[in-house]
C-alpha cells in the first residue's frame, strides 16, 4: 500500500497557489495525483475511486469540466462532498485510491 498527499494548494515546487480558479485547482490536484502515481509506476488509469471534497457545491460544474480532461474512456468511481471548509483556503481536495501491480 502506498499513500501520498497531493498537496492541492501547492505547486510541485512548494509555491502556495491560493489565487487559482477552481478549475485550475482541479487540474493542479489531478496533476499532483498523477505525479504521485507515476512515482510508483502507475497512472491515472489505475485509479479505482476518487473523492472530491469541495468548499462550495456550486463549483461542481467547473470541477467536473476540468476533471473530464484527465480520464479517457470509463472514469473511475467518484464521489463529491461539500464540506464546511477545505484546508489552507483551497476550493477543493481530491483523494484517489488506485491499485498498483
pLDDT digits (tens, 9 = 90+) for 20-69: 899 999 998 899 899 999 999 999 999 999 999 999 999 999 999 999 99
Residue 66 CA: distances (Å) to CA of 12, 23, 63, 74, 89: 19, 6, 5, 16, 19
Output the pLDDT for position 58: 96
CATH number at residue 61: 3.30.1330.40
**pLDDT above 60 for 5:** no
What letter does residue 77 receive in the DSSP assignment?
E
Domain assignment present for residue 32? The answer is yes
Output the pLDDT for position 8: 53
**pLDDT above 90 for 10:** no
Total of domains in the chain: 1
DSSP H or E run through 94: strand 92-98
**pLDDT above 90 for 4:** no
Domain assignment present for residue 53? The answer is yes
Output the pLDDT for position 17: 66
Give the confidence band of 99 by pLDDT, cuts at 50, 70, 90: very high
Domain assignment present for residue 28? The answer is yes
Domain assignment present for residue 91? The answer is yes
Domain assignment present for residue 12? The answer is no
Domain assignment present for residue 8? The answer is no
Domain assignment present for residue 10? The answer is no
Terminal-residue alpha carbon distance, the chain: 11
Domain assignment present for residue 2? The answer is no
> What is the span of the domain harbouring residue 36?
22-98
Amino acid at each position: 500500500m502506498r499513500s501520498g498527499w497531493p498537496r492541492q494548494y501547492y505547486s510541485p515546487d512548494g509555491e502556495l497557489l491560493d489565487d487559482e480558479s477552481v478549475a485550475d485547482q482541479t487540474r493542479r490536484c489531478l496533476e499532483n495525483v498523477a505525479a504521485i502515481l507515476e512515482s510508483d509506476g502507475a497512472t491515472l488509469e489505475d485509479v479505482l475511486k476518487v473523492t472530491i471534497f469541495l468548499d462550495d457545491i456550486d463549483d461542481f460544474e467547473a470541477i467536473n469540466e476540468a476533471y473530464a480532461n484527465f480520464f479517457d474512456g470509463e472514469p473511475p468511481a467518484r464521489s463529491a462532498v461539500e464540506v464546511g471548509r477545505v484546508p489552507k483556503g483551497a476550493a477543493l481536495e481530491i483523494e484517489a485510491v488506485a491499485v498498483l501491480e
